[in-house]
Amino acid sequence: MRLGWIAAGAVALVVVSGCSGDSADDPVTESAPVVADARDYVALGDSYAAGLGGGNYSDTSCLQSSDKSYPQLWIDAKGTDALGATVNKACSGAVISSVTSQQLTALTDRTGWVTLTVGGNDVGFVAGLQQCVLGSDQTCAQSVKNAAGTMASSLPDSLDKLYTQIRAKAPNAKVYVVGYPHLVADPGAGVTCDSLNDARRKALNAASDTLSEVISTVVAKHPGFTYVDGRVIFAGHEACTKDPWIHAIADDMSESFHPNADGYAAYAKVLHGVTG
């Protein structure tokens, strides 16, 4: 989840045509199309974009964190003077189709920046996690295998269509597709992670790799889109590490395997560096 266009004002083009002899036609003035002052920011996506796991939620449906989501932290770092209108349309549980139908209405030719995290729910990552936490090694492996199959079959086309629609609605925007991290510590090193033994963590992180590769491959096909790799941002800080930026099994189950406040701050720091 590479180039964009931000321009302001309009340019007047004056063409003067003359005739032979002593007379001349009046000047003909043609005005170039007005290019939008594209400084608005729109955040799109699922629970990772909404800030689930960060706490201090502003609503009970989409569970947007009012001050800890990476979109809000990016806005704080960017500064309101550099931005026009800002809106976070992200919603926990969102899939590609709901982003398309419910969130893209916020995009216009005045949109200068877009961030997006989506795709995990489309491939059944939640079901895979449930099987890996509650099921056997076999059911975990099979569930992850099923998710990987969806990633390879239908996800690329769905993402391609979504990115195309984003560009059509926000022609002047730079779009940053923010990827998912490895959710749990890598196998080995004596890590204890409840029921998530080495085999289960290996399967989950391999699926995260596949998801990241699929998303980044599609992103590369769309000019003006940049992929931000969550695996790199969270390396060494996955759930069950000594300094985790991702909740393991949380008291609030909805927050399990989502970033905590430190994780969202890390997302926003890297995003601010990429966007300038």
Catalytic residues: 47, 258
The Cα–Cα gap between 61 and 70 comes to 19
Given the structure tokens 């550099």, which residue do they identify? Answer: 82
> Three-state SS for 226?
strand
Cα separation, 152 vs 160, whole angstroms: 13
Euclidean distance between CA atoms 132 and 201, whole angstroms = 8
| 128 within 8 A of 140, measured Cβ to Cβ | yes
Measured CA angle at 155 (ends 147, 161), to 5 deg: 165
DSSP 122: T
* Strand ranges inside 118-206, DSSP E: 174-178
